[in-house]
Structure 1
Amino acid sequence: MRNTNKVFHLAIPCKDLDDTVEFYEKLGCQLARRYDDRVTFNFFGDQVVCHLGPDEIDNEPKMYPRHFGITFLEKQEYNDTLEYAIRHNLPFFTEPMVRFEGRQEEHLTFFLIDPSNNLLEFKYYYDVNMVY
């Protein structure tokens, strides 16, 4: 299990810092630092750094294998985030869906897409044992 004294770090490319800041702040992420070539956010308690790299952008993103996101342990947090995304007109890559219906690993999920075509998945497993 993760201790509270650890923060996961993820670095991703972005094509425009202003658009990136607008998207992640709209998502509810706090801007921690901004430099000429990158921005750092508090992404649900972890650190996401968006490095300016317009040549690194995936012009045709696919859900698999490249995405990142949050797995909620409480269904209400998942529902609240989904409602928040809808209310704030965040761009969906896929609509909310149920994956692996009827199986032990059944879960709720939706994907957002940021201005640099990075895909963000938000999900909730009915069986907490399936989280890992």
Structure 2
Amino acid sequence: MRDTHDACHVAIPARDLDEAVEFYVFGLGVKMARRYADRVTFDFFGDQLVCHLSDEVPEEAVMYPRHFGVSFARPEDFDRLARLVETRKLRVLTGPSVRFEGTAEQHRTLALADPSNNVIEFKNYDDPRLQY
């Protein structure tokens, strides 16, 4: 049903749009698509991420119940992202580590927090059929 030209849309709060741009563009290397006084839209690994200016940001970066991210199909893409995070000294919450080791759902994971305490998780499953 989803075409390669379609994009998943995720909207999150941001306390400061300049901080959001610094983190997502100059930290993670995603492309800024549009910027307005109250929001900024990014091409987040092929999907649409919108940071809306808000006073209601999480007090702390907590993985559950809410986070978002990317499940990389190719291990080299996960490795590249992990190197970028290390080089740019981004705020890491967990990982890189292996979850569910020895099971069919074994995967590598890395969780970050943006400046507004939104949690972003990156994964790569050993079995690529499990990325969905």
- TM-score for both structures, normalised by structure 1: 0.95
Gaps of 5+ in 1: none
1:3-14 to 2 correspondence within 5 Å?
Answer: 3-14=3-14
C-alpha distance after superposition, 1:74-116 (max 9, x if no partner): 0000000100111111111112110000000000001011000
Name the amino acid aligned to 2:66. R
Residue matched to 1:19: 19
Mapped to 2, the partners of 1:2 and 1:74 lie a distance apart of: 20
Within-5 A mapping of 1:116-127: 116-127=116-127
- What letter matches 2:31 in structure 1? Q
Distance in 2 between the 1:5 and 1:20 partners?
A: 25
Give the distance between the partners of 1:44 and 1:130, measured in 2 at CA: 19
Is the 8 Å Cα contact of residues 61 and 113 (structure 2) preserved in structure 1? no
Distance (whole Å) between structure 2 residues aligned to residue 36 and residue 114 of structure 1: 20
The 2-side partners of 1:100 and 1:88 are apart by 28
- After superposing on structure 2, the runs of 4+ consecutive aligned residues of structure 1 that deviate more than 4 Å are none
SS in 1 for 2:42: strand
Name the counterpart of 2:102: 102
User: How far did residue 37 of structure 1 move?
Assistant: 0.5
1:37 matched residue in structure 2: 38
Question: What do residues 13-41 of structure 1 show as CA deviations (whole Å, max 9, x unaligned)?
Answer: 00001111100012111111111100000
Equivalence for 1:59: 59
Alpha-carbon distance between aligned partners in 2 of 1:122 and 1:2, rounded to the nearest angstrom: 21
Equivalent residues in 2 for 1:87-98, closer than 5 Å: 87-98=87-98
Cα distance in 1 for residues equivalent to 2:130 and 2:64:
19
Q: CA RMSD in A?
A: 1.1
CA–CA distance in 1 between the matches of 2:112 and 2:5?
A: 28
SS of aligned partner of 2:25: helix
Consecutive unaligned residues of structure 2, counting only runs of 5 or more, are: none
Contact map agreement 2:111 2:121 (CA 8 A) in 1: yes
The answer (yes or no) to whether the contact 2:98–2:108 under 8 Å persists in 1 is yes
**Alignment-derived partner of residue 114 in structure 2:** 114
Query: Could you say what secondary structure the match of 1:24 adopts?
Result: helix
